[in-house]
Structures are given as structure tokens and as C-alpha cells.
């Protein structure tokens, strides 16, 4: 634990990535979709665009300061919020000042540039709030509690949603709640500390296929199964996250502080595109609790889940493998 000889905030800054685009060598800019960054993993993967000739990346940021940061009677002044990108391998440090979205708002936003020639792998991105405290300028009053990783090579923000995965015979399991699902290959329980996915070992050779222990076409089918399972998981956890939201006295929904909040921040840009996540959450909550609009939103929820599961890529890989097999059989 660190001790400071001045007043500080006792809660961290929440940092989110809101957009990513690449500037190419011909001067054009390629906006990457939301698959380029993962809020649960705090990772940006700049290789998603599959460009070898990109010159720089522009990353949109949104930071939420904890309560008390902008209070009129706060024991500091000249508050500034800085995003800082560092990489130890190249000894690069780049910082940019974020802008307050509105007077007295806890929301700050901006963009930071990542120069390709300055990085060889993975850089760390953090946000710091600094202010004048007791006539001393540049005091750090709070910061993010965990850095984001900006990977200039990776083609996906690795890691995905944190899950608890277990295998069991559904028909003979000591977990009685599994028995009614004896003919299902898997089920998902999103009510606990982490989402739980149960794999049914009653289905012959299913566990081996999920383990990816085969070769050739079996590996591609393994990828397709994992993407289908992941689609189900993302759909289930989204519905779990929006199903039990706390609400402010004015009716505004509050982001959960556990994995449910991470899931919502990850998926909402695709579920309700074109809005900040706070407004997107209000719209989703209004549709779910109101008289209309919730059923129509399910297509967007499924689309967001499919994208995060990588279903299109997995399907394309299977189709290519089948085409290759057909060509070999006909040769």
C-alpha cells in the first residue's frame, strides 16, 4: 500500500477504448471494428486490420473519474486527465490530455496516437488524474487500477470473456439442475461470480472434439463448435447483465461493477451503435422494461455475440477446408 502526504481519491479511474483506426502509408485511414478491442481483457489488437503498411493508429478513449473528483470543494485545483502510453522494450512514453465532456462531468474523452515505428510488440496504456494540491502542481490524485495493453501485432484481443468451464455427465451429475438437460451438449449458468459453462460428457467423443486433439478437418470443426458455444455464452451473459440492473432514483440504470459491467461495455456498441455506452444502456433498459422494442433488439444482441465469438472466421475456415478436401478427392 502506498501512502501520500496529501489528499487523494480512494477509487480508480475507469478507462474504455471507444474506437480504433489505422493510418496507412498512402494517407488513407481504415476504421477498425469493435473486434479490435476487448474491454474485459483491456486489450487492443492492431493486427485485426491485417495491414502491413500502417503508419500510426488512433485510439479513441473514454475515462470516468470517481465521485468527488470535480466537486467544487475538492482539495485540489487545475485538474487534468492524462492518457499515457509506454513500452519498455523501446523506452517510448507518449501522453495526451483528455477533454472533459461537459462542465462538472466525471466523463473525459480524447484520442491517443500510436506510431508504428515506435513499438515492437505490446505497450501499456493508463490514465492519470493530476492536480494542484497544497500549491504543489502535478500531484497524482487517482489513476486506472489496471493498464490496457496495446498490441501492434496481434490479430485479436486474446483472452476473451473469463469463464468457469466444467465437464460432467448431465444424466448422472450430482448437480440435479443439470439432469433435465441430459440431451444438450452444453448449458450456461450466468448467475454466479463468473459465467459457468457445463460440457455434457454423455455425448460420445464430444469432449475430445472440443479439446481439438484431432487434425485436419476436425480442427476446423473444433473451431466452429467453440465459436457456436461462445455465441451462446455472449448472448446468455448479456441477458444476465441487463436482467438485474440497479437503477438510480431518476430511473437511470447503473453499470454493474463485476463481469456483467464488462460484458455490457463490450457489447453495447454493437447492440445500440452510434451512442456512448451510458446512453446505450439507458436505451436497452428502457426497451427491456417498456412496452416495445425489446424483441426487435434481439437481432442486434445476437449480432454482437456472433462478432465476439468469431463465428464468421470459424465458418470460413471450415468451408475452405471442405473445398480443399473436395479438390483433393476429385484430383
Segment 25-41 mean pLDDT:
84
Mean pLDDT over the full length of the chain: 85
- In which band, very low, low, confident or very high, does the pLDDT at 20 lie, cut at 50, 70 and 90? very high
From the CB of residue 237, how many other CB atoms can be counted at a distance below 10 Å? 24
Q: Would the pLDDT of 98 be above 50?
A: yes
The pLDDT score that the predictor gives to residue 17 is 92
Segment 267-296 mean pLDDT:
88
Q: Would the pLDDT of 115 be above 70?
A: yes
Its pTM surpasses 0.75: no
Cα 277 to chain centroid, rounded = 12
- Residue 220 CA to residue 136 CA, distance in Å, equals 60
- Residue 46 CA to residue 63 CA, distance in Å, equals 21
Q: Would the pLDDT of 241 be above 80?
A: yes
Q: Would the pLDDT of 161 be above 70?
A: no
Instruction: Provide the grid cell at 91.
Output: 523506452
Q: What letter would DSSP give residue 247? A: E
The pLDDT score that the predictor gives to residue 96 is 96
Segment 67-88 mean pLDDT:
89
241 or 158: which leads in pLDDT: 241
Amino acid at each position: 500500500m502506498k501512502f501520500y502526504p496529501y489528499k487523494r481519491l480512494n477509487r480508480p479511474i475507469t478507462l474504455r477504448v471507444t474506437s480504433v483506426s489505422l493510418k496507412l502509408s498512402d494517407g488513407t485511414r481504415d476504421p477498425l471494428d469493435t473486434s479490435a478491442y476487448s474491454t474485459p481483457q483491456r486489450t487492443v489488437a492492431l493486427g485485426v486490420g491485417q495491414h502491413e503498411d500502417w503508419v500510426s493508429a488512433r485510439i479513441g478513449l473514454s475515462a470516468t473519474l470517481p465521485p468527488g473528483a470535480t466537486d467544487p470543494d475538492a482539495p485540489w485545483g487545475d485538474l487534468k486527465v492524462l492518457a499515457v502510453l509506454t513500452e519498455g522494450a523501446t523506452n517510448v512514453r507518449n501522453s495526451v490530455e483528455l477533454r472533459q465532456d461537459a462542465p462538472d462531468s466525471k466523463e473525459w474523452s480524447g484520442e491517443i496516437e500510436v506510431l508504428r515505428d515506435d513499438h515492437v510488440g505490446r505497450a501499456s496504456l493508463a490514465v492519470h488524474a493530476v492536480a494542484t494540491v497544497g500549491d504543489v502542481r502535478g500531484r497524482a490524485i487517482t489513476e486506472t487500477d489496471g493498464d490496457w495493453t496495446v498490441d501492434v501485432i496481434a490479430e485479436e484481443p486474446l483472452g476473451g470473456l473469463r469463464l468457469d468451464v466444467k465437464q460432467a455427465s448431465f444424466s448422472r451429475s450430482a448437480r440435479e439442475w443439470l439432469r433435465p438437460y441430459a440431451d444438450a451438449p452444453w448449458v450456461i449458468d450466468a448467475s454466479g461470480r463468473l459465467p459457468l459453462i457445463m460440457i455434457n460428457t454423455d455425448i460420445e467423443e464430444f469432449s475430445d472434439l472440443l479439446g481439438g486433439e484431432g487434425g485436419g478437418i476436425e480442427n476446423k470443426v473444433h473451431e466452429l463448435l467453440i465459436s457456436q458455444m461462445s455465441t451462446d455464452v455472449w448472448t446468455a451473459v448479456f441477458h444476465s447483465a441487463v436482467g438485474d440492473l440497479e437503477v438510480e432514483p431518476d430511473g437511470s440504470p447503473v453499470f454493474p461493477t463485476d463481469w456483467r459491467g464488462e460484458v455490457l461495455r463490450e457489447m453495447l456498441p454493437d447492440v445500440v451503435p452510434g451512442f456512448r455506452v451510458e446512453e446505450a444502456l439507458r436505451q436497452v433498459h428502457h426497451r427491456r422494461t417498456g412496452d416495445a422494442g425489446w424483441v426487435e433488439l434481439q437481432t442486434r444482441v445476437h449480432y454482437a455475440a456472433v462478432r465476439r465469438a468469431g463465428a464468421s472466421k470459424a465458418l470460413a475456415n471450415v468451408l475452405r477446408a471442405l473445398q480443399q478436401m473436395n479438390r483433393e478427392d476429385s484430383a
